[in-house]
Each structure stands twice: as structure tokens, then as C-alpha cells.
Amino acid sequence: MKKILLVSFLVSTSLFANIYELKPIDITKNIRCFIGDFNPPTKSNKGFVSNVCYIDKGDSIVVIEPGPTYNFAKELNEYIKKHNGKKVTQVIATNFHDDRYTGASYYKQNHIPIIAHKTIVKELEENPDKFTRIPSVTTKEQYANSKVVQPDILTDERYVIKGSKLNIEVLKLSPGSNSASDISVYVPKEDFIFTGNTVFNGRFIKYGKYSDIDNWIKALEKLQSMNIKYVLGGHGKEYDKNSYKNNLEYLNILKSSVKKAYENNIDRQDIKKHIKDEKFSFYKHFDSLSISNAKTYYDQLQWQ
């Protein structure tokens, strides 16, 4: 009888065990963040590849990024309840990517407003294939209840969330960077900004089909002018005031060198030979992303 009870206990415990085992870092006394894996979604990271934070604004908690799955968001909210004892009243999605957004289904179900930039509606509509990665690396149980939902509050250039001890500003640093819907979350009182995919660290920067090199550079230059003490990107664990600088330097190199090669009629297949970006080779996934970034921008030039 004791053996049966023990087996039943172990089975029930395993069924309700945490999937993600969240381990935070404290940026300030009011801002706590969870650093995602530096790889694309895999079975081992279960889609948790983007940074997620929460801010104690005094009267309640605001979460930055819904996360990769319903269960991720649920675990995070249980963690917040256990360690902070306050309600989550808003969640901010800094772009439409699956690793950041799919957990919005938890917030929708629990009537917690999802805040995002207005361009996210179009991006979600045009990119259903973006939401096939994480189901392919998670079990049915891990991905349970996860689905794409619509945001509740659509922002434009600036949106302010007021709190009893600090305010939070949702900012659009430029019309587009990695994606059109990219936004940043600024907490003036804490001298902190979360930039989402405007800043990459730990892994090499990704320039995709929706990226806008001129506006991405403008966003980083705006960030530079703000001179903020803590700058945490959407990927990577660096959060000092200079954490964006390699991104700005690289994008300027990418823009000038690809443009020059294109104007000199260099073949697309040979474009990588003309990009002098070796100083960034210490980043994870540099070899593959350096090539794809150059080809993607080259293709954009062809269609301009």
C-alpha cells in the first residue's frame, strides 16, 4: 500500500512540476529579469530563448514579454505571486515573434491586458508560419492552451503606465528595427530600458525580411542619446549602458559594405566576402547569421 501511495505521489508531482524552472537576476530592487537561452527554440529550452522581465510599480506588477507558451506565462505569474505577493495588471509584448508572444494566451484567459504596438496586428496576420517552431520542440502537455491571441491595448509612439511608486513608458524608438512592431520599455526612475529585439547580446544580431536597417540604426542612435544606465536587450545577459554599441557598429558596417558591393555589381553569392565583420565573430551563431544578414539586406536593395 505504501509503495502504491509513493508511486501515485511521484506521478502527481511530476505532472505538476515546473516546465521552465525560472531563475531570475535582479537589475534593480524593482526590476527582475529572466535570461533566455542563446539558441533558437529547441527541446531543451522549450522555446524560452528571449529575455522576460517584471516591474514592481508599487500597486501592482507589469510583465515585459508574454513568453513562448501559456505554461511559461503561468509559471512566471505563480513565481511573482509567491515572491512578490502582488497582482500582475498588464503585460507588454515588444514584438510579434513566437518566443515572445505566444504566452499572451495565458494573459488573455485571465483578463490581464496585453499591450503591443499597433503594427503587431498586421504582422500576426501575415506570419502564421512563425508560430510553428515552438510546438515542434515541445510536448502537447508543455504547449497546452498556447495559441495566438490579439492584443488589448495598441500603442503608437508612447504609452504611459502609472504606478504608485514609479511610471513605465512604452516607447517606439523608430518606425522599425528587427520588426515593425518592436517597442521598448523605459522606467525613468530606475534608469532602465528593455529594448526587445532592438538589441542583441550573447547571440549574433538577426537581420530578417521585416528588418529596416536605416530605422534600426536610428533606434540605436536614439538609445545612445538617452544615456540610460541599464540597457537590457531581448537576447543576452548584458545590461550595462554600453550593451547596444556592438549592434550599432555592426549595422553601420553591414549597411555600408553591402551597399558598396551591390553598387559594384558583386554577385549575391559572394557578398559575404565583402563584409568586414570578423570582430563580431565571438557571438554565438555568427557564422550562419552573418551570411544570412548580408544576403537579406542585399535582397532588400534589389527591391528598392
Domains along the chain with CATH numbers: 14-243 (3.60.15.10)
**Is 254's pLDDT higher than 50?**
yes
Q: Is residue 14 pLDDT above 60, yes or no?
A: no
Rounded to an integer, what distance in angstroms lies between the CA atom of residue 299 and that of residue 208? Answer: 11
Q: Phi and psi for 203 in degrees, rounded to 5?
A: -125, 155
Phi and psi at 158, nearest 5°, equal -155, 140
Give residue 235's pLDDT band: very low, low, confident or very high (50, 70, 90): very high
Quote the pLDDT of residue 15.
44
Q: Evaluate whether 254 touches 262 at the Cβ level (below 8 Å).
A: no
The whole-model pTM stands at: 0.93
pLDDT average, residue stretch 235-253: 98
For position 247, what pLDDT does the model report? Answer: 98
Which of 17-26, 144-153, 282-291 is predicted least confidently?
A: 17-26
Q: How high is the pLDDT of residue 277?
A: 96
CA-to-CA dists, residue 12 to 7, 140, 145, 190, 230, angstroms? 9, 17, 20, 42, 42
pLDDT at residue 58 is higher than 90 = yes
**CA distances (Å), 240 to each of 4, 68, 230, 235, in order?**
53, 26, 5, 14
Q: Which residues, other chains included, contact 82 with Cβ-Cβ below 8 Å and sequence gap of 6+?
A: none
Identify which of 29, 30, 26, 28 has the alpha carbon closest to the alpha carbon of residue 167.
30
Band the pLDDT of 5: cuts 50, 70, 90. Answer: very low
Given a cut of 70, whether residue 10 has pLDDT beyond it is: no
Whether the pLDDT of residue 4 is over 60: the answer is no
Average pLDDT over residues 255-280: 95
* Per-residue confidence (pLDDT) for residue 1, from 0 to 100: 46
Per-residue pLDDT at 82 exceeds 50: yes
Residue range 210-219: mean pLDDT, rounded: 97
Q: What is the mean pLDDT of the chain?
A: 94
